[in-house]
Structure 1
Amino acid sequence: MTIERSGLSNRMSQTVVHGDTIYLAGQVGTGSDVTAQTVDMLSEVDRLLASVGSSKSHILSATIWIADMAHVSDMNAVWDDWIDPANPPALACVEARLVAPDYLVEVMIVAAKA
């Protein structure tokens, strides 16, 4: 099987497609709070999935890292409004120090092709 990569840098690919499985690099968003960053981050997930022929309805698993669990309910409110309720993925959410202090939330997605 071929492996297709896009959004390449010297360190990583934004998307990797192997067969019918899609892997997204960790995505973060911009904004002053976890709500704004989550909205922006999920918008980028939508864009990346569409670019490789998929959508949020085909997400198999998501791992979310949040800088402070005190804000998990704000992040969950955005996630719950965004995710396809008929096709929720396997999900993990953990508290972690992210790569830069301005980042409050990050998600990594594995999806299937549509």
Structure 2
Amino acid sequence: MGIRTSTITRIDTTARASKLVIAGDRVETSGLVANDCTADVAGQTRDVLAQLDELLARADVGREGLLRVQIWLADMQDFEAMNSVYDAWVGEQHQPARACVGAQLASADYLIEIQAWAQR
């Protein structure tokens, strides 16, 4: 076994997962879904990105520290509507690597799920 060189901090932990894990300069979120599942995909995207902003702030990292964003959509026909919100949020500088796939999410009420990796 190697020597551990950083402390791992887990934030908002449940029996199953942590919403945020910080290991040294590395920051990872769990999959984030909307709090308001009555909203359309644009509204759910705004909701999830606001949660992501809050978690990044708790880790003392801004959007410029994002390395990768993984997006799951329940319906790929929502791709453009999601992108209109995401593109405005991410801005024109510091875009992370990104993937977006269609997937059956844990609840039919969820239209989008986002997971992110960042570096402080």
Q: TM-score, normalising length from structure 2?
A: 0.91
2:103 matched residue in structure 1: 96
Q: List alignment gaps of at least 5 residues for structure 2.
A: 1-5
Code of the aligned partner of 1:102: D
- In percent, how many aligned pairs have the same letter? 38
Give the alignment partner of residue 105 of structure 1, picking from 83, 96, 112: 112
- SS in structure 2 of the partner of residue 14 of structure 1: strand
Larger Rg: 2
Q: Measure the CA separation in 2 of the matches of 1:21 and 1:75.
A: 27
- SS in structure 1 of the partner of residue 13 of structure 2: coil
**Please, what is the CA RMSD of the aligned residues?**
0.8
Conserved 8 A contact 1:3-1:18: yes
1:48 matched residue in structure 2: 55
2:17 matched residue in structure 1: 12
Give the deviation of 1:85 after TM superposition: 1.7
2:77 matched residue in structure 1: 70
Moved over 3 A (4+): none
Q: Measure the CA separation in 1 of the matches of 2:81 and 2:9.
A: 35
Q: How big is each residue's C-alpha offset from its partner over 1:27-52, in whole Å with a ceiling of 9 and x where there is no partner?
A: 11124210000000000000010011
Give the alignment partner of residue 29 of structure 2, picking from 24, 36, 40: 24
Conserved 8 A contact 1:57-1:84: no
Give the deviation of 1:84 after TM superposition: 3.2
Q: List alignment gaps of at least 5 residues for structure 1.
A: none
Q: Measure the CA separation in 2 of the matches of 1:59 and 1:84.
A: 12
Number of residue pairs aligned between Structure 1 and Structure 2: 113
